[in-house]
Structure 1
Amino acid sequence: MPQGTYVVTKMSASRPIDCLLNYEDPYVQPLIVEAFQRRLPASSFKLIKSPEEHRVGPMIQFGAYEALDFEKAVEMPNILINAYVIRKALIRKHYLSTTVSHWIAKHPESELKDHVKPSVEFELDYAEFLDDALVEAWELQEAFQKNAEKDPKDREWWILKPGMSDRGQGIKIFSTEQELQEIFEAWEAERPDSDDEEDDDDGQQDGEKENADARGDQASKNEHEGADGVDGVDSSSIKVTEEKKEYIITSQLRHFVAQPYIHPPLTFEDRKFHIRTYVLAVGALRVYVYKPMLALFAATPYGAPWEKKTDSDGQPDLRAHLTNTCLQDSDQREGSVRAFWDLPDTLDASNTAAHAELAGLSGGWKEHVFSQICTVTGELFEAAARGMMIHFQPLPQAFELFGVDYMVDAQGTAWLLEINAFPDFRQTGDDLKGIVEGLFAETVDVAVKPFFQLEGAKPEGTDTLKQVLDIDLGRR
């Protein structure tokens, strides 16, 4: 059994574990309860409905971030909780960018350099100050200069992502400074004219920041945009209307990240997709990748970024590029979420030379992609734990499930897109609910049982929950 990465709890065999299971999600809640009932001996635990029912002895809290009693868990070593207090080094895009760049600078041989697109970070309040915001964005400036005299099909294209938005809000594609300027000007056009409204919004922004800080760094229940989903603050804490949605993004979420756009992506049935991987982090620190993964498809057939389309309102139509199912109408979601391992085993070898190479891989292209995901995920968590210790603080008495998104390009390279805390499991749907059900069952064996020293503990992982990192951060 790994040493130093979990808490050894001394508990009376006659005292059952108090289990406060309150995830506040009707899709997930019954799956968690069922996992505990199936994987734990009936005599080893007792379900409770409120923290007040727990007096002394072992306890697990498995619930929404805001409902967790972090202070009590830190003070009492026999209480296990399902979230770390601080993990913004992973779940906020501008912090994640820093995590990766710092790690690569110290470890030039790192696998991350070949699986994470370099990011350009900047802050912007008003479109008129874009020039100032990009003063130190050398990579963007260089790209703009090279693109200036090129035809659109020959340019390097970029994707813009607000650092703390969610559910695909604010995702844009651009190749020139003028296009980037027009994006911000279009958002700014939605700004309310009333000074009173602006003052109210400023006050709301301050309040939301304060609330977010009080929560530690809760991630939103978000999903991905396809070239990158978005996370950060809880979407429910931002009061938006359809008319003001883009305005909210620019005025309240001032951190932006730009990355080279992944083109061409691997497609099936001419549609782009991204892979949702569920990752379990335990204690300080073991990390596991759940092999049953999801493939989330865009709503419409893929087209190159320079093949611009518009919707019925004359706005850019990015549905071919965004694989975030939150952005799709109910009639478009049919077939948009699939089990990754159910995707075709073979690729059209006549399509491209890259496909021909992938088609001939030993074990198949899917095993090739999964192997990359495992390697990158393990190193990424180590980079955050060792290189960003202020912004990622694993607790020995905690575990957490993350949704990690990857995009596969036409050459079969898996590119990290983002990491989401408290992922939206509901996007899996009813047909694939068994994937989520299995995840919670494995979590009980790998995270819960070892902490409470119960029979059947599997800290080394399982066939479907593969261990990709085991380090001792010296936290007890």
Structure 2
Amino acid sequence: MPVDVHLHITCPYTNELIRNVLEEENGLFTLTNSSNSTNNDILYWLEYEEIDFDTLFRQARDSNNNKKVLANSYCIRKGLIRKANFAMFIQKYLAKKPDAILRNHYPETHVLDLCHPDYLEEALNEAFELRDALEENIQGKNEPIPFILKASILDKASELCIFQTQLELEEYFTTKYNEEEDEDDDDEGNSIANVREWIVQRYIKNPKLLSTYQNRKFHLRVYVVAERNLRIYVYDGILALFASLSYDESDDQSFDRLRHITNTCAQIDTKLQEDDLVKEFFTLEELNDDIRSNIFEQIKLILNDIFTGLHNEVTIFQPLKNAFEIYGFDFLIDETNQVYFLEANAYPDFRQTGNSLSILIKELFQNIVQQIILPYFGYEQSKKDLQRQLHLVYDKQKII
């Protein structure tokens, strides 16, 4: 019998690609909008809020149930996708494993617990190492260290600030709070008044720059697929996302977003076209094969180290044997070709890939269907000649 598919992803770009890939499988999947119970196996490919996790948990526990259910998201993964939770996990992990790979591939990070600008002094006293670094920046004995502020639960480059002193940080928060108080906005979802947890990371001032692309800063968007409990794959269809303007290290103080922020959604009011902002990493000719391979190997090692630590942290990351999930991991490369992990995002925005590289996303979904979904439901993989592949980087049952 075919698998009943409940498909609803809000983004039309993503929803259509998933639908097309499932329909290629010669009737193995039947798309349905019905909630009526059938004897067919079920694939849920839905927005997180629409997944019935209670049903998923019951099915996972019932070994006598012959009906298979698979969903496209884990329930608990805040230790990975919330920046403050991840930073605290890393602090704990590195205390246990001081020689772990992540020590050299995750920027120095501090967590600020801040409910209002008036309490910034208290928050910095808790994050005393950050406070001391900001004081040293004022003293001028060494070259000032810039830091970047990020909201723990906001995405799409929301509320970013580069600063070097406590005063600059105070001015940022005060200005933002005053602006929001003056605005009559019914949408409070992205209000910083609702954000209590922030992270502050040492800003990487020496990013890799490519003259072919006008020395514009870029970061890598890497798609990572978690399967059941627990295997991790990295997709070699990696994106390079470019800023709109050439990078200028001396621009730290004015913080021109179009020079420093590489998220595609942040590139507004720019004359550059989609093809100038989004490239496939393995086609960047200015990076030779050896450099690209070295960068990819670093990414694999970083991912292995992250999930080696996370798979035991069941209160903040809890894989399910009847689920899989796609994450968008962001990495930055410095001028020495060292790779830094920045953050992970659930339900990544595939639209940023654009139309010209949509095949990259389609092949990602094709790989997931072939390597994860079909085997789960007992079907053989169909023979597809895909240019891009998933690479196993972590398996809880064995060392890769």
307 and 398 in structure 1: CA distance in 2 versus 1, 3 angstrom threshold: closer
1:380-404 deviation digits (Å, cap 9, x = unpaired): 1232221x21011100000000000
Task: Indicate if the aligned counterparts of 2:360 and 2:388 stay in contact, CA closer than 8 A.
Answer: no
* Matching residue within 310, 316, 326 for 1:391: 316
Q: Which amino acid aligns with 1:47?
A: L
Structure 1: distance between partners of 2:252 and 2:240: 24
Structure 1 match to 2:285: 344
Q: Which amino acid aligns with 1:289?
A: V
Structure 2 match to 1:258: 200
Tell me whether 1:438 sits opposite 2:377 in the alignment.
no
28 and 463 in structure 1: CA distance in 2 versus 1, 3 angstrom threshold: closer
* Matching residue within 25, 50, 54 for 2:34: 50
Shift of 1:31: 1.2
Shift of 1:142: 2.1
Tell me whether 1:400 sits opposite 2:325 in the alignment.
yes
Q: Which amino acid aligns with 2:300?
A: C
Shift of 1:333: 4.6
Structure 1: distance between partners of 2:228 and 2:253: 47
TM normalised by structure 2 equals 0.90
Structure 1: distance between partners of 2:88 and 2:40: 41
- Tell me, what secondary structure is at the counterpart of 1:165? coil
455 and 412 in structure 1: CA distance in 2 versus 1, 3 angstrom threshold: same
- Tell me, what secondary structure is at the counterpart of 1:76? helix
1:295-334, aligned counterparts within 5 Å? 295-305=240-250, 307-309=252-254, 316-329=255-268, 331-334=270-273
- Tell me, what secondary structure is at the counterpart of 1:379? helix
1:272-322 deviation digits (Å, cap 9, x = unpaired): 00000001000000000000110001111101155534xxxxxx5222110
Shift of 1:193: 6.2
Shift of 1:463: 6.6
Q: Which amino acid aligns with 2:249?
A: A
Structure 1 match to 2:15: 29
1:240-283 deviation digits (Å, cap 9, x = unpaired): 6xxxx6xx11x111211001001110012211000000010000
Structure 1 match to 2:166: 177
Q: Which amino acid aligns with 1:139?
A: E
Report the more deviating stretch, 409-418 or 328-337: 328-337
Task: Indicate if the aligned counterparts of 1:284 and 1:395 stay in contact, CA closer than 8 A.
Answer: yes
- Tell me, what secondary structure is at the counterpart of 2:107? coil
Structure 2: distance between partners of 1:462 and 1:302: 33
Structure 2 match to 1:145: 135
- Tell me, what secondary structure is at the counterpart of 1:190? helix
Tell me whether 1:381 sits opposite 2:310 in the alignment.
no
Structure 1 match to 2:215: 270
Structure 2 match to 1:450: 375
Q: Which amino acid aligns with 2:321?
A: P
Structure 1: gaps (5+ residues) = 1-14, 205-237, 310-315, 347-358
- Tell me, what secondary structure is at the counterpart of 2:246? coil
161 and 55 in structure 1: CA distance in 2 versus 1, 3 angstrom threshold: same
Shift of 1:416: 0.5
Shift of 1:164: 1.2
Tell me whether 1:156 sits opposite 2:145 in the alignment.
yes
Report the more deviating stretch, 125-134 or 107-116: 125-134
Higher RCO (CA < 8 A, seq sep 6+): 1
Structure 2 match to 1:75: 58
Structure 2: distance between partners of 1:426 and 1:191: 29
RMSD between aligned alpha carbons?
2.4
Tell me whether 1:165 sits opposite 2:148 in the alignment.
no
Structure 2: gaps (5+ residues) = 61-67
Task: Indicate if the aligned counterparts of 2:220 and 2:281 stay in contact, CA closer than 8 A.
Answer: yes
Structure 2 match to 1:106: 96
Structure 2: distance between partners of 1:33 and 1:333: 31
Structure 2 match to 1:313: none
Structure 1: distance between partners of 2:314 and 2:272: 40
Structure 2 match to 1:66: 49
